[in-house]
Amino acid sequence: MSEAPPPPSGPRDPSGSDDSSGSSLPPPPPGGGYSPPPSAPGGGSAPPGSYGGPPTGGYPAGGYGAPMGGPSGPGGSAQLSQSDERMWAMLAHLGGIIAWFIAPLVVMLTQGEKSGFVKRQATESLNFQITLTIAYVVCFILTFILIGVLLWIVVGIGGLVLMILAGIKANGGEEYRYPVNLRLVK
């Protein structure tokens, strides 16, 4: 048989809780158990404001940068550099190959206010995408007469070649106007 452990021999906790771990802890020191703050080097007490207060020195000169929403922040209308203008104009033309009319529309709305060149090229590209859409609808209707299939191929290849040519010219900084274009958007 196993023998039961002996009862604790120390004083009982007045709250009634039983510490059965067998360790005896010393009572907490008077005053809540906190020690006094460290003294300053060389004896004496710490100077006011050096212990427990905010750090001294303030903020760096000039602050942490320009506030959001300024000329260079979100929604600002800072001018584009010449290389950025050419890139956005090229993306407006070549984006139509992948994203149809959405790419030139997004470029026109987001970058058009920052550059007149980008706005003109994005508008030209958007008008060309609208013209191609009308041509594709006509080709679809003419498919029932069998000539539409041939026209669909011609319009597709012609549109692709003109968009690539426009992208190259826009990347070179030249104004490009499509030879066949309904200019509906101004």
pLDDT of residue 1: 55
Distance of alpha carbon 95 from alpha carbon 104, whole angstroms: 7
What does each of the 186 residues of the chain score in pLDDT, given as a tens digit?
Answer: 556 666 655 555 555 555 455 557 777 666 655 666 665 555 555 555 555 555 566 555 555 554 544 444 455 567 888 899 999 999 999 999 999 899 999 999 999 899 999 999 999 999 999 999 999 999 999 999 889 889 999 999 999 999 999 999 999 999 999 998 988 988
- What average pLDDT does the structure give for the chain? 78
pLDDT tens profile 26-63? 776 666 556 666 655 555 555 555 555 555 665 555 55
Q: What local confidence, expressed as pLDDT, does residue 23 receive? A: 59
CA angle 27, 5, 20 (to 5 degrees): 30
* CA-only gyration radius of the chain, Å: 39
The predicted structure's pLDDT at residue 119: 94
Q: And the tokens for 80?
A: 């584009």
Tell me which amino acid residue 7 is: P
CB-hemisphere CA count at 13 Å for 137?
6
- Structure-token pair, residue 57: 């020195």
Give the pLDDT of residue 33.
Answer: 57
> Cα–Cα distance between 58 and 60 in angstroms, integer?
7
